[in-house]
Amino acid sequence: MVHREKRTIYVIFAIALALIAPIIVIFTPLVIAITFYDNVHKIAFVPLPGSLTVYASAFAVVVASLVAMYFLKKRAFKIGLGVFAIIAFLFLFISGTKHYIYIETDMIESSHWLKGKKQYEWNEIVQVDYTKKTTDREREDTIMLIFNDESTITLLQAGLVDYPTVQEIVNRAQKHGALVNEIIVNE
């Protein structure tokens, strides 16, 4: 009976972590932006939505491992699963921090946790497409930066990328010779 009570600690930790994880997942991009990317040269730091999925996956691995540990009898398997869970959590969580777009006065940085990081100078932008899409009750504005190597970065004008930020990006791109297209779509 005592052994069974000791094992329930795994399920209790799994439930507690499952309840706390969404809060940590939501606030991690904000903490990273303030801690590492908040400086006088910053125009915008945009954590990509995929980073939230990666953070959530990191916690899901740990929760699943804790539940699995409840059913395992051998101590060696529990230790092995625990080591795997820690390594998987660290790998996924750190990978999630590498999924963002960072725009500052000197350069634009796009980082994807699978594709790696790419930095662009402002003079590498050849075209900016500023799309204003209006549906019945909503408006969705996007800005697409097209670079000379034909890669693109698309930003949704909402939340972290507000109207003054978009105007600063457009003005800076124009200053460096980029063609700016304003596209209006009514649906």
Digit-coded pLDDT (tens) for 96-151: 988 899 999 999 999 987 788 999 999 999 999 988 888 777 777 888 999 999 88
The structure tokens listed for 141 are 């504005």
Do residues 124 and 179 both lie within one domain? yes
The structure tokens listed for 138 are 């909503």
Spatial CB neighbours of 182, under 8 Å, sequence gap ≥ 6: 130, 132
| pLDDT band with cut points at 50, 70 and 90 for residue 1 | very low
Question: Is there a domain that residue 31 lies in?
Answer: yes
Matching residue, tokens 């790998």: 91
CB atoms within 10 A of CB 43: 16
Round to whole Å and give the CA distance between 33 and 47. 8
| The pLDDT of residue 127 | 92
Do residues 62 and 90 both lie within one domain? yes
Do residues 10 and 94 both lie within one domain? yes
Do residues 16 and 68 both lie within one domain? yes
Measured in whole angstroms, how far is the alpha carbon of residue 81 from the centre of its chain?
27
Do residues 91 and 141 both lie within one domain? no
Spatial CB neighbours of 152, under 8 Å, sequence gap ≥ 6: 144, 145, 146
| pLDDT band with cut points at 50, 70 and 90 for residue 3 | low
Question: Is there a domain that residue 82 lies in?
Answer: yes
Mean pLDDT, the chain, integer: 88
Half-sphere exposure of 109 (CA within 13 A, CB side): 19
Write down the pTM of the prediction.
0.79
Q: Which residue range forms the structural domain that includes residue 121?
A: 115-186
Task: Tell me the pLDDT tens digit for each residue of 164-183.
Answer: 888 899 899 999 988 888 88
| pLDDT band with cut points at 50, 70 and 90 for residue 11 | very high
Matching residue, tokens 């990273």: 32
Amino acid making up residue 88? A
Structurally, the chain folds into a number of domains equal to 2
Question: Is there a domain that residue 72 lies in?
Answer: yes
> Looking at the predicted structure, is the pLDDT value of residue 2 above 60?
no
Task: Tell me the pLDDT tens digit for each residue of 66-105.
Answer: 999 999 889 899 999 999 999 999 999 999 988 899 999 9
Cα 138 to Cα 18, 108, 112, 134, 165: the distances in Å are 34, 29, 29, 6, 20
pLDDT average, residue stretch 32-48: 85
